């Protein structure tokens, strides 16, 4: 522009690729610290609340892993979409529908016994997210509608549908007037992996998803088609990759994983359906995917980092009187820092010119 000008770099070093997100994270932290200072909050307390506490007790460490589980699952799915240059910003809605579908199985099977119930719930949750994710993909393929707008609009629709169900047909009639479903039976609850622990099978599923993504994206023809379509759509088309089918595929994957995250959260952590079942995981996962540089292992690490922050923000609401909005603002700031970091790995910035 008039003051900045960008000069492309010749090749980007491996070190720079790994260091960049770290620097972006630190810069965002420094800005946040300055804001906290300006608000007259104690930085020492903030450091305790946000970093030290979540990482020092066995109890809170498990909480961090639990929070990272839905974030990882959703972010892994989003990596497929973003790599193919498709924007699924409605993962939040697919998460909600996943919880809804899986929860429906639990409610329908209320009072029954059987080892089939839990797997059926997980499959129903994935199917729900998958179908809901296919809507924006199909609208894009058939009508050329921006998947950004349609997927986001569907978030509101999903939230309202869940709200209707738990206040209406699915309401627990014995729970006075509370808008909630029946409490799930033990057979419909993802229990802890070991006696007295907190980690459940969903954690393993998230790790499995990371592994699957590493293989699919790095070693398969499909993974190549995804990246090729994202980076050079015309060339990918000439190579015979079907653009429409790929759109459906990446939305199916990200929808299914978001749906799985939804039913895992509902079954393991809530044990019932309620009007609101997410804390914005679908949106936070977008930042997780970018912080992890669209790499599955990177996403796993980023999910853990942001989970620490989310746990900290719960304590901060009490200890520092900081509302959740502080965390949300930080997430936006972090995404901006990551994007700036990406730009600086690709270009040298010259002032003047």
Contact 341, 21 (CB under 8 A): yes
CB of 348 to other proteins, least distance (A): 11
Q: Does 329 bind other proteins (CB under 8 A)?
A: yes
Q: Which residue in the set 52, 243, 323, 348 belongs to the binding site for other proteins (CB under 8 A)?
A: 323
Distance, in Å, from the CA atom of 190 to the CA atom of 270, rounded to the nearest integer, reads 10
Distance, in Å, from the CA atom of 159 to the CA atom of 248, rounded to the nearest integer, reads 23
**Which residues lie across from 5 on neighbouring strands?**
350
Interface characters, 137-156, with other proteins (x: CB under 8 A): --x---xxxx-xxx-xxx-x
Q: Does 251 bind other proteins (CB under 8 A)?
A: no
Three-class SS of residue 185? coil
Distance, in Å, from the CA atom of 335 to the CA atom of 25, rounded to the nearest integer, reads 9
Q: Which of residues 255-284 bind other proteins (CB under 8 A)?
A: 283
CB of 148 to other proteins, least distance (A): 7
For residue 45, count CB atoms less than 10 angstroms from its CB and return exposed for 0-12, middle for 13-18, buried for 19 or more.
middle
Q: Which two tokens stand for residue 48?
A: 């305790």
* Site size with other proteins, rule: CB under 8 A: 52
The piece of 1-9, 110-118, 172-180, 266-274 that touches other proteins (CB under 8 A) is 1-9
CB of 216 to other proteins, least distance (A): 23
> How many Å is the maximal CA-CA distance in the chain?
73
C-beta closer to other proteins: residue 271 or 298: 298
CB of 183 to other proteins, least distance (A): 23
Number of alpha helices (DSSP H) and beta strands (DSSP E) in the chain: 14, 2
For residue 57, count CB atoms less than 10 angstroms from its CB and return exposed for 0-12, middle for 13-18, buried for 19 or more.
exposed
Who contacts 213 (Cβ-Cβ below 8 Å, separation ≥6)?
A: 76, 79, 80, 296
DSSP 202: H
Q: Does 335 bind other proteins (CB under 8 A)?
A: yes
Q: Does 304 bind other proteins (CB under 8 A)?
A: no
Q: Which residue in the set 31, 199, 270, 333 belongs to the binding site for other proteins (CB under 8 A)?
A: 333
Q: Which of residues 89-118 bind other proteins (CB under 8 A)?
A: 89
Q: Does 229 bind other proteins (CB under 8 A)?
A: no
Residues binding other proteins (CB under 8 A):
1-2, 4-6, 8, 87, 89, 139, 143-146, 148-150, 152-154, 156-157, 160-161, 163-164, 167-168, 283, 286-287, 290, 323-333, 335-336, 339-340, 342-344, 347, 349, 353
């Amino acid at each position: 522009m008039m003051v900045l000008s960008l000069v492309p770099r010749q090749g980007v070093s491996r070190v720079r690729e790994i260091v960049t997100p770290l620097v972006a994270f630190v810069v965002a932290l420094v800005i946040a610290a300055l804001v906290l200072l300006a608000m007259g909050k104690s930085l020492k307390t903030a450091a305790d609340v946000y970093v030290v506490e979540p990482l020092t007790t066995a109890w809170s460490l498990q909480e961090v892993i639990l929070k990272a589980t839905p974030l990882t699952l959703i972010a892994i799915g989003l990596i497929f979409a973003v790599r193919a240059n498709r924007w699924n910003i409605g993962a939040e809605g697919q998460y909600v529908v996943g919880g809804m579908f899986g929860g429906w199985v639990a409610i329908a099977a209320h009072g029954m016994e059987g080892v089939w119930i839990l797997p059926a719930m997980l499959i129903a949750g994935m199917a729900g997210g998958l179908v809901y994710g296919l809507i924006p993909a199909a609208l894009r393929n058939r009508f050329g509608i921006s998947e950004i707008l349609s997927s986001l609009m569907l978030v509101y629709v999903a939230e309202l549908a869940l709200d209707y169900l738990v206040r209406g047909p699915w309401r627990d009639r014995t729970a006075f007037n509370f808008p909630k479903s029946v409490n799930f039976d033990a057979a419909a609850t993802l229990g802890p992996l070991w006696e007295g622990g907190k980690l459940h099978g969903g954690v393993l599923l998230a790790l499995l998803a990371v592994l699957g993504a590493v293989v699919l994206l790095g070693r398969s023809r499909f993974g190549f088609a995804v990246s090729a379509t994202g980076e050079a759509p015309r060339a990918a088309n000439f190579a015979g990759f079907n653009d429409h089918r790929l759109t459906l595929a990446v939305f199916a994957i990200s929808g299914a994983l978001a749906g799985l995250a939804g039913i895992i959260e509902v079954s393991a952590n809530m044990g019932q359906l309620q009007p609101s079942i997410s804390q914005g995981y679908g949106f936070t996962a977008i930042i997780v995917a970018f912080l992890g540089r669209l790499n599955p292992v990177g996403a796993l690490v980023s999910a853990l980092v942001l989970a620490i922050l989310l746990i900290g923000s719960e304590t901060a609401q009490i200890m520092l009187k900081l509302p959740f909005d502080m965390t949300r603002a930080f997430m936006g700031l972090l995404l901006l820092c990551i994007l700036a970091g990406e730009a600086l790995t690709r270009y040298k910035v010259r002032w003047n010119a």
